[in-house]
Amino acid sequence: MMVASNTIHKTKSTPTQDLSDFAAARFASKEKNLASPASLKDARQRNFPQAAFLSDSRNICLSKDSYEQEHLLRKGPGASVHLSLEGLNKSLRKIKDTEIYVISSPEELKQLLDLHHSEENPMPSPDDMFPYLHGSAGLREKVYFDARFDPSSELQFLAEDSETISRRFPPDTFAKPTELGFHLMTVNSRAESNPYLTNSVVIEDMLVFRETGDIDVSPERLDLSNFKQFKDFTQTFDTPCCPLAQTNRNFMLQTTLMAPLSHFVVYNNEMDLASNFEVAKILEYLQSSCHKRNIYVVDFPTRQWPKVDQYFTQTSVWHRSGKKKRFFNKSTDFTQPGSLYYLEQNLVWLVYNMTQPFPNLYVGNALNFKQSIPGTRSGLQHDFQLYIYCHEKARMPSRSLLNLILQDMPAKGLKEPLFLEFSSAIFRAEAMSEDVASCFLTFLKLVSVIVKEHQQNALIHSYDGFSGTSFLLLGLGLLWRCDYVEEMALDLFRQPEFKLQLSFSEFLVLKSLEARIQLLKPQLQNATILLPDLCSETGPILDQPLVRPADWLRSENETTFPDFIHKSLYLGSVSHASSTTLLSALQISKVVSIGEKPRWYGALNCTFRHDATPATEGPVIEPIYLFNKGHSSVYEVQITSPETRARLFHHNAVPALDSFIYIHGLEDDGRDSMFLLFVGCPQWVQEKLLISPDQKYKALVLCRIGVSRSATLCIASVMKHFHMSLVESFLYVRVRRLNVVIQPNLRLFYELFLYDEHLRSRRQQNDKKSGEAFFCWWTFCTEIHRLNQQYIE
């Protein structure tokens, strides 16, 4: 699907003092041959007439399984929303010779927007909207997502010729989205920024080029005939397909895909009816006769805009409110175009705030540095005498300069703040010279003398508060606290307020320096003793046997750590769960795994029911809950007997682990659903999956990598237990697991969106009463796409 591009409206960030094994996953995109907004604007001016004169029950169906849990589900918009809409329409005027309604007062506009944002107007169920929202156009893609197809056993069928596939799956039999519901798109006809109604889009978001043989269409030839009408969006094309790389993260297409299902209200800042009418006529053409929805144009005096200001985007206000886990207050505007990137960055600064891993030594971010320089309140509080800025392009001081600073240092320490830079990028284990090694050791010596001998405060800082700092902190830890890198890494890892980020090459460098640091501790911690010219002395300590973790920090895939979500919950990968070292370090009591079995699973000596055969020996574990029509199942294995523990973990390496929960048949393919785990399963089952911070144990939730299915569970847990919105929870979990970019697939994210509606409904909150601005599905997805593009680019 080729979509016309839309200008990205970005806002400037306004940070405040209170801001507390994929790198940047490349989500599949179908954006090609983009048209410029300027060309489209010129085309509108050439091809569309001036404005004419004015003349005087659906029910939410969550799935067949969910009907058995009707008491948990609320009803969708029935007669009330549609009758109210019908009544409003009867009171409105129409533009002459058209079916376009005119909103002539702010009260009418507010009534229309209130209906759309009403608690009685939830989004349709996932089964009603998928696979349509995946945006698949190719025959084989549509077959892959079709409910009649089983990818676990039929993938080879997609290699058949198109005629064979079409006989089994005729193109006109693919599921279509529900036509029910009231979706309202606010369209800014001039793409102006003020006033800007929340969840606004522009007409370019809905223009999809027709497939033609032309490589390029000149602006002079561009008119409406170049664009698809909404009725053409469900056409099927015979295109190649890679079954293992399906497009299940098409966040950028959601506005385009929701447009055929939506009504439209068109406005602009100056109440220029001509511009509004032009865009309304384009929408009328796109709708065609078989996709008719209401189109409204706004036309009242501009001085009356403040009467609907609750639906305007506003400046965000950041603070941590009360004792609840909230990082944004109720006036925070999540719907400002381009806002998620700035919200995420500010949340990084809020979460990775200044910490103190060692006495007199602090680690912080760019804001902490700005707030702590001499003359500021924080600067007076901490009285930092040493600032070390860690970044990739740092200009490291030479060894001779470091020695000169040490020699000239007054007996009572620094009298004026010292500013240095540090970068671990210059250290490479395979090519590290003795001069470079000596320079690093001298750097450690300078920091140690200032912090330990003179008892002066130092701040190690980077832009986000953790990138580039771990190498230096581990080196100092080897000098002050632990003898081995692995031991020191685990010691920092146990501190939830500190984020450890270490590459395998950095680990190897530190290992190569480990013994030297131990040998030279007296010289490194005393200002009067100079280091030897060559740090190559050998001694007893170099031959000291190393008791190191047997199952971690062994390769490039084993240098990350599970991420702290809250005091009872960590998010990670199957590699993390397989490490008894990490499980023991965190004292994990429960492992919740989606689709992956840790390396130690075989020692449990049991078989899950779906794997059992007549020849199976030993215990067979029955599921505690079935969902997705029996395709998916939840198991729990209690690890309680001494025999099992002894067999599972040698020398009782993980004494706290007593429960292994395994979710089978839940793939990250855009087909499988998790929604019943949020709203349909028994409470006692949900409590095992959506971990509460009130639990006395610690749980590790994981899938293969820890970016989609397990991240979805963690986001839902935060939403439920901390009363946080999906926007807050999604950004919070992303920021906590920032070493990879978490992104649930589109269906799972839609289910989280519905769960957000469900929780707000149970709390009897809506945007009118609470004052909070909520995203529409399509604009939220657009912002997610923009956010992810920041990492890809």
Overall average pLDDT of the 764-769 stretch: 51
Q: Give the confidence band of 789 by pLDDT, cuts at 50, 70, 90.
A: confident
Reply yes or no on whether the pLDDT at 262 is more than 60. Answer: yes
Domains and CATH numbers, the chain: 37-311 (no CATH), 352-543 (3.90.190.10), 556-772 (3.90.190.10)
Please tell me the predicted confidence (pLDDT) of residue 365.
96
What are the tens digits of pLDDT across the range 588-608? 999 999 999 999 998 898 999
pLDDT tens readout for residues 172-197: 999 999 988 899 999 999 877 676 88
Packing angle, helices 470-480 and 504-519, rounded to 10: 20
d(CA 624, CA 685): 8
Find the mean pLDDT for residues 357-366.
96
pLDDT of the residue at 642: 80
If you average pLDDT over residues 40-60, what whole number do you get?
34
Report whether pLDDT(380) > 70: no
Q: Is the peptide bond before 374 cis (omega within 30 degrees of 0)?
A: no
pLDDT tens digits along 226-249: 888 998 888 877 666 554 445 789
Q: Once rounded to an integer, what is the mean pLDDT over residues 279-285?
A: 94
Is the Cα dihedral 488, 489, 493, 494 positive or negative? negative
Would you say residue 11 has pLDDT above 60?
no
445, exposed or middle or buried, with CB in 10 Å at 0-12, 13-18, 19+? Answer: buried
Instruction: Report which secondary-structure segment, H or E, holds 625.
Output: strand 625-627
**Helix (H/G/I), strand (E/B), else coil: 237:** strand
Is residue 110 predicted with pLDDT exceeding 90?
Answer: yes
The confidence score (pLDDT) of residue 655 equals: 80
Q: How far apart are CA 492 and CA 290, in angstroms?
A: 62
In percent, the amount of the chain with pLDDT more than 90 equals: 57
Six token digits for residue 86 = 């019908």
Q: What is the mean pLDDT of the chain?
A: 82
Q: Which of 56-65, 407-416, 664-673, 769-778 has the lowest mean pLDDT?
A: 56-65
Identify the band that residue 431 occupies on the pLDDT scale cut at 50, 70 and 90: low
Q: What is the pLDDT of residues 473-504, one digit of tens each?
A: 999 999 999 999 999 999 999 988 889 998 88
455's CB contacts (< 8 A; 6+ apart) are 360, 413
Q: What is the pLDDT of residues 512-569, one digit of tens each?
A: 999 999 999 988 988 777 776 544 444 444 444 455 556 888 887 788 999 999 999 9
Residue 317's CB is within 10 A of a number of other CB atoms, namely 14
Res 218: pLDDT: 61
Per-residue pLDDT tens for 695-744?
Answer: 999 999 999 999 999 999 999 999 999 999 999 999 999 999 988 889 99
Q: DSSP letter at 3?
A: B
More confident residue, 64 or 511: 511
- Sequence-distant contacts of 131-134: CB under 8 A, at least 24 apart: 131/175, 131/670, 131/671, 132/175, 132/176, 132/177, 132/234, 132/257, 133/177, 133/250, 133/254, 133/257, 133/258, 133/746, 133/747, 133/750, 134/246, 134/247, 134/248, 134/250, 134/670, 134/746, 134/747
Residue 54 has pLDDT above 70, yes or no: no
Percent of the chain whose pLDDT exceeds 70: 78
